[in-house]
Amino acid sequence: MTLSRVLVGIFKSFEETKEQPKVPELKTRYYKKSRDRLMETIKNVVERKLTNWDLKKVDMERGEIVLSKGSSLMIVTVYKLAGMQSAVDVYCSKEGTLGDFGSSYKHIQYFFKALHTEIQPEKG
């Protein structure tokens, strides 16, 4: 993690992926898998590879998976797109008065690294 991510994290207590982020590593990821199958894959990855995170809630109708670890909260949202394509966005935040010192950014990168051991995103 770069020094700039830590400095930004002094004032910011959350991070999220989106379509056009300022940082390329925080771009929405796309997968060639149905939303339901991708949700199952994510749930399995969390249970097997992110064992230090607690799986709090899985809402198949909304496409959301909620995880917690200490004072950090991560919400993974899976969107159904056309055909067999889905998109994943992640929101991660930390409770407290100070920022997270870049931990939300690090948690999102760690999540995608674990997920990509099971399924690779589409190029783009």
Task: Say how many domains are in the chain.
Answer: 1
Question: What is the residue range of 59's domain?
Answer: 3-115
Is residue 17 situated within a structural domain?
yes
- Which residues, 6 or more positions from 105, have their beta carbon under 8 angstroms from its beta carbon? 1, 5, 9, 15, 23, 25, 26, 92
pLDDT tier, 101 (very low <50, low <70, confident <90, very high otherwise):
confident
Give the pTM.
0.90
Is residue 121 situated within a structural domain?
no
Is residue 123 situated within a structural domain?
no
Is residue 35 situated within a structural domain?
yes
Give per-residue pLDDT as tens, 48-80: 999 999 999 999 999 999 999 999 999 999 999
Mean of all residue pLDDT scores within the chain: 91
Is residue 124 situated within a structural domain?
no
Check residue 99 and give its pLDDT. Answer: 77
36 pLDDT more than 70: yes
pLDDT tier, 98 (very low <50, low <70, confident <90, very high otherwise):
confident
Phi-psi region for residue 81, left (φ > 0), alpha (ψ -120 to 50) or beta? beta
Residue 83: give its domain's CATH number: 3.30.310.80
Exposed, middle or buried, 15 (CB in 10 Å: 0-12/13-18/19+)? buried
Check residue 13 and give its pLDDT. Answer: 87
Is residue 34 situated within a structural domain?
yes
Give CA–CA dist 33/56, Å, rounded.
Answer: 24
Instruction: Report the share of the chain in percent with pLDDT over 70.
Output: 90
- Which residues, 6 or more positions from 56, have their beta carbon under 8 angstroms from its beta carbon? 66, 67, 68
